[in-house]
Amino acid sequence: MKNSVRIGCASAFWGDTSSAAAQLVNGAELDYLVFDYLAEVTLSIMAGARMKKPDAGYATDFVEVLEPLLPRLAARGIKVISNAGGVNPQACAAALQAACQRAGVNLKVAVLLGDDLRPQLPALKERGLQDMFSGEPLPALCLSANAYLGAPGIVAALRQGADIVITGRIVDSALVSAPLIHEFGWAWDDYDHLAQAALAGHLVECGAQCTGGNFTDWRQVPDYEHIGFPIAEIDETGRILISKPDASGGLISPLSVGEQLLYEIGDPGNYLLPDVICDFSQVRLSQHAANVVAITGATGRAPSNQYKVSATWPDGFKCTASCLMAGVDAVAKAERVSQAIVTRTRGMFAQRGWEDYRRVDVELLGSEATYGPHARRADSREVVIKIGVSHTDKQALVLFSREIAQAATGMAPGLTGIVGGRPTVYPMIRLFSFLIDKADCRLSVQLDGQTYPVTLPELIAAPPTPESVPIAPEPPTTGTSGCIQVPLLHLAVARSGDKGNHSNIGVMARRADYLPWIAAALSEQRVAEWMAHVLDPQRGRVTRWYLPGSHSLNFLLENSLGGGGVASLRIDPQGKAFAQQLLEIPISIPPTLLD
């Protein structure tokens, strides 16, 4: 048994830089190298590719990046784990095996199967499955349907001697937690250790987002050009050290790592995973050395006997047109032109007997459109008109795409530069999420021509997990007179992201004694008012949780993304800029507390 295990993450999504794997392999000591590629929209794209070509449907980048590194990986005994298999992990494994032969190395490549539930959809539909958020029934046609598997299948592959493990859909953190369970021999009911392992995976799964990427204090981050990718070193007690290759750029501090701790976790006391329910509310971060942060304090409880499944399905079509409007009164001209385009095409639809648009979303980029009522640039002399529309009929949107160009000669002056030429019509892909019993997924590992069934751990029956009570730090009791107002940015860092149609904003105080003042100002109602322009008028709401260990607050903005990343027409369909808006909210605080 090793005293500690070092795991580097070389990819946060399909399309991430191709330079990270070589940086980690050549610039650091590693036991494992992991790659994360998948999201719901990624799976739908891969499913479409496989329909056109039977040996497609996986992240081809993975094989291309890994091939030149195979001899060094083999020589140093670095094992590789990735969900690059997408909807066709066997084809991915075959391509990688061919790369191993070309490189002259003998590495055992294992494939984890069992997450793809498309063959079972007819039977599942008969059960009357409903979306876990909207209550809608399972659609008739799904492009993909994948269960979020946990760590047991990867652990089984490693125990069979695999050097490289390729999976389909798993929870991202399992890429890291599985090798830790394997190396340390942690039991499946050792929930505190499993929670720390899951936390390590959560911290590095988004690559450079914990090494200074997407960091509030971006001016402090050196050398974006060579930003380091993260390394998690975990010892047998579960303590985590986050670092990066010595010669790389970037920055690792409690604040930069803390932003990633809060990223997209929802209720921090009930972070639900297939192998453990994590409580991150008491997690503590400390500077261990230069560009090294230590993390402790995650605890865990028994998981449920169900997997979450995400299916994607086609629901009509969408089209987005963008063009530049320049000159005096650019915002007013852009408003009139965009309205005229929409009104005219609606009239043309009516003449043809077509129904109206399902949805129209007009944003004037450069007028601070994403800020809603907080925008300050109505006098801009240069804006980009972005018109996003959706419709049930593709031909209606083809007509819309043809009508954009006429505005350049028949409407207000200064319209030019249609971005990308005539806009393209795409299928509107929506997400459908539901729960199934783990027993409905038959997991297996394929290695060296053999298939090994994977037996899931037996679970101790656990009561339903209650929702954490949204508590708050003690309110300020002294020094409340003579306060001044400063932007939240002066007192905290923040990061936002998405979960379906919901957005998560994590706020971490720069100093613990700032938090009571921040919490007093950032009530659920106040945040809902500040972000009202993104919340659905009927279904939008805000929930707040307190994380004492990291002196942080976490906010969940339900139904705030216009349908979410795979279906939204907005310029910010994943709420990535929401934290930037919240950082401008004024906070009252005694001047004696300020640096």
The tens-digit pLDDT sequence of the chain (595 residues) is 679 999 999 999 999 999 999 999 999 999 999 999 998 778 888 988 888 899 999 999 999 999 999 999 999 999 999 999 999 999 999 999 999 999 999 999 999 999 999 999 998 888 888 999 888 999 989 988 999 999 999 999 999 999 999 999 999 999 999 999 999 999 999 999 999 999 999 999 999 999 999 999 999 999 999 999 999 999 999 999 999 999 999 999 999 999 999 999 999 999 999 999 999 999 999 999 999 999 999 999 999 999 999 998 999 999 999 999 999 999 999 999 999 999 999 999 999 999 999 999 999 999 999 999 998 887 899 999 999 999 999 999 999 999 999 999 999 999 988 888 899 999 998 889 999 999 999 999 999 999 999 999 987 655 556 666 656 788 787 666 789 999 999 999 999 999 889 999 999 999 999 999 999 999 999 999 999 999 999 999 999 999 999 999 999 999 999 988 778 999 999 999 999 999 999 999 999 888 6
Q: Vertex 499, ends 251 and 425: CA angle to 5°?
A: 105
CB of 385 closer than 8 Å to CB of 340: no
* Residue 370 backbone zone (phi > 0: left; psi -120 to 50: alpha; other: beta): alpha
Q: 7, exposed or middle or buried, with CB in 10 Å at 0-12, 13-18, 19+?
A: buried
Regarding pTM above 0.85, the answer is: yes
CATH 3.30.70 fits 316-430, yes or no: yes
CB of 73 closer than 8 Å to CB of 33: yes
User: Which one, of 496, 339, 358, lies nearest residue 428 by Cα?
Assistant: 358
The residue extents of the domains of the chain are 4-308, 316-430, 484-593
- Using CA atoms, how far residue 336 sits from 136, 407, 415, in Å, is 38, 11, 12
Q: What crossing angle do the helices spanning 254-262 and 191-204 adopt, rounded to 10°?
A: 110
Instruction: Give, as one character, the DSSP assignment of residue 58.
Output: S
